Structure 1
Amino acid sequence: MNYIFIDEAHFMESLKTIILKNNDKLNDSEKKIIQFVVSNPQTCSKLSLSKLAKKLYVSESAIFRLCKKLGLSGYSELKFNLDELARNQSENLKVSYNFAQELKKANNDVEKFFSTLSLTTLYQSIDKTNTVYIYSTGWQQELIAQYLAHELFVIGIHAIVLPAAFDELVQAHHYAKKGDILFVISFNGDGIILNDEISKLKLSSNKLVLVSLTNMRQNKLASIAHYNLYFPVVSFMVESDMKKVAFTPAYYLIDLFINDYLVWHHRGKE
């Protein structure tokens, strides 16, 4: 039997009790929904029912049924509980939060995640490609794109960083050659317009190998791409919003990627 595990130090007693008491009523899909919302209470407490449904790729009725199974009057009561949960978490974290430890943990998570990947076919594609294209959204992601391009250049791979304009992305497949690679760097991978364009590009052309770099393991962009490289981010301070975060793990991920490619290349392209 699958249970939802909740850290007693961080979760509000009433919500914890509600979830544990009704755990047996929830199917696997509903358990995934509740795991996400209790892991991201501050974000979810600010979303409307329709926006949360779109974010999780489920129907509004699925979330409403979940609320009923938990014995809540509806989505509004769930939002109220999540808002209280977010405040309690913030108060607890203000006392115990250690940026250096969190950053170290994030980098360890990147290393563990990267060790699970099998990228031989991607490395083979890199060896055969004429050009690597890199597209990013947001100024922090653009800095990461520039770093990736530089690291590729150092090992002899030509990379072009596309301007952060959709027209440039749309045009990419027109002048790209078969086997070229497109890296897309997006913070959460859930940009509707971006993903629509990527989907169209994938459908209209079998030229490009798509590689996503995102903050979330499960998102629309990752599902579209042929390969997904995941990096967490770490808040500089507890009270900061998601814009005030350290992207160090993304750079660490790129370093691991470049080194692993070189190791594979040195071993004779096994």
Structure 2
Amino acid sequence: MSNLKSLIYKNGNKLNDSENQIIHFVLNNPELCSNLSLSKLAKKLYVSESAIFRLCKKLGLSGYSEFKFDLAELAKNKNEAGYMKSDFAEELTKSIDDVLKYFKSLDLKKLFYYLENANNIYIYSTGWLQQLIAEYLSHELLVFGVHSTVLPSALSELCMVYDYVQSGDVLFIISFTGDNKAINDELMKFELTNDKFKCVSFTDMKQNTLASLSDFNFYYSPIAFTEDPDIVNDKVAFASAYYLVDLLISEYVMWREKSGKEDKNGGAK
């Protein structure tokens, strides 16, 4: 990881909104900014020169000259790595094919029974991109008359579920890696003290702790947009996760049509 990015990650909690906006601009335009003087960059961003100098100090840099040097290095690394993957379309197609093959191997009757008889369905996500998938899942369920509650992506919200969860409720957790320690630790506590609800997780196609803690797990394959070694969540395509949601809802609807609504004892009405 470049020195500048390391410093930003390390000292990001010290920055105010204005400084975060400066960082956002320079990280997206490192080559342009590395060729600007302090005064020209300040004019371009409509901030004072002292504001940029204070930012450099907060990041642990000696001054603007070192800031420019790190920006030039960042620009060089990006140019060498290349931005867009040339084989992105092929990788995306393969990931969707892999999800389809994997999905066809699943027996989902038990999960569908729990969904059909759940008093409440909760959907929790571990980040803002995962939150969009959670909202999509909730919308698709609602289209077929199934209500769900999308929880904010905060650990406190997940902890609160324990207080009001009822027997037979279903909790979906949509994660990127499935290895968020704080969330997994909380689920371990649930597992030891609460047998009321069923947990359903969506995670990357890799072995992970969240999958092992869940009653049901669905794997998807996120694809990186770039060759950038400093990749973060907002540079990843989650198309396979949305595709997995569509497959799940489609199969659930077909199951409902075929078997009819089941009563609480599991017998067909």
- 2:248 corresponds in structure 1 to 257
1:168 and 2:130 aligned: no
Q: 1:228 to 1:95 in 2, by over 3 A?
A: closer
- 1:107 corresponds in structure 2 to 96
Alignment gaps of 5+ in structure 1 = 1-41, 43-90
- 2:174 corresponds in structure 1 to 185
- 1:133 corresponds in structure 2 to 122
Contact kept? 1:152, 1:159, Cα under 8 Å = yes
> Partners in 2 of 1:215 and 1:110 — Cα distance?
11
- 1:117 corresponds in structure 2 to 106
> Partners in 1 of 2:173 and 2:201 — Cα distance?
5
> Partners in 2 of 1:102 and 1:93 — Cα distance?
17
> Partners in 2 of 1:95 and 1:166 — Cα distance?
34
Of residues 137, 144, 147, the one that matches 2:136 is 147
> Partners in 1 of 2:135 and 2:81 — Cα distance?
37
Partner secondary structure for residue 135 of structure 2: helix
Q: Structure 1: which amino acid aligns with 2:237?
A: A
- Deviation string 1:135-191 (CA, Å, 9 cap, x unpaired) is 111111111111111111111111001111222111112211100000011100011
- 2:204 corresponds in structure 1 to 215
Q: Structure 1: which amino acid aligns with 2:243?
A: Y
> Partners in 2 of 1:152 and 1:255 — Cα distance?
10
Contact kept? 2:84, 2:226, Cα under 8 Å = no
Alignment gaps of 5+ in structure 2 = 2-79, 261-267
- 1:246 corresponds in structure 2 to 237
- 1:267 corresponds in structure 2 to 258
Contact kept? 1:188, 1:214, Cα under 8 Å = yes
> Partners in 2 of 1:223 and 1:149 — Cα distance?
24
> Partners in 1 of 2:211 and 2:85 — Cα distance?
33
Q: TM-score, normalised by structure 2?
A: 0.63
- 2:190 corresponds in structure 1 to 201
> Partners in 1 of 2:255 and 2:154 — Cα distance?
34
Partner secondary structure for residue 259 of structure 2: coil
Q: 1:107 to 1:93 in 2, by over 3 A?
A: farther
What displacement does 1:237 show? 2.4
Q: 1:209 to 1:172 in 2, by over 3 A?
A: same
> Partners in 1 of 2:85 and 2:106 — Cα distance?
33
Contact kept? 2:155, 2:183, Cα under 8 Å = yes
Q: 1:95 to 1:199 in 2, by over 3 A?
A: closer
Across the two proteins, how many residue pairs are aligned to each other? 181
Q: TM-score, normalised by structure 1?
A: 0.63
Q: 1:100 to 1:172 in 2, by over 3 A?
A: same
Q: Structure 2: which amino acid aligns with 1:185?
A: I
> Partners in 1 of 2:82 and 2:185 — Cα distance?
38
What displacement does 1:95 show? 11
Q: Structure 2: which amino acid aligns with 1:155?
A: F
Mark the structure with the bigger radius of gyration. 2
Give the root-mean-square deviation of aligned CA atoms: 2.3
Q: Which structure is higher in RCO with an 8 Å CA cutoff and minimum separation 6?
A: 2
